[in-house]
Amino acid sequence: MTGLTSYLAGLAAEESVEAEYHRNGHDIAARRWRGSRGEIDIVAKDGDGFIFVEVKKSRSFARAAERVSRRQMHRIFGAASEFMAKQPKGLLTPARFDVALVNALGERKIIKNAFAHC
pLDDT of residue 118 exceeding 60: no
Let me know: does 85 contact 77? Beta carbons within 8 Å: no
What tens digit of pLDDT does each residue of 10-37 get?
889 999 999 999 999 999 999 999 999 9
| pTM above threshold 0.85 | yes
Let me know: does 39 contact 77? Beta carbons within 8 Å: no
SS (H, E, C) 30-64: EEEEEECCEEEEEEEEECCEEEEEEEEECCCHHHH
**Class of CATH domain 2-111:** alpha beta
- H or E element, residue 71: helix 70-85
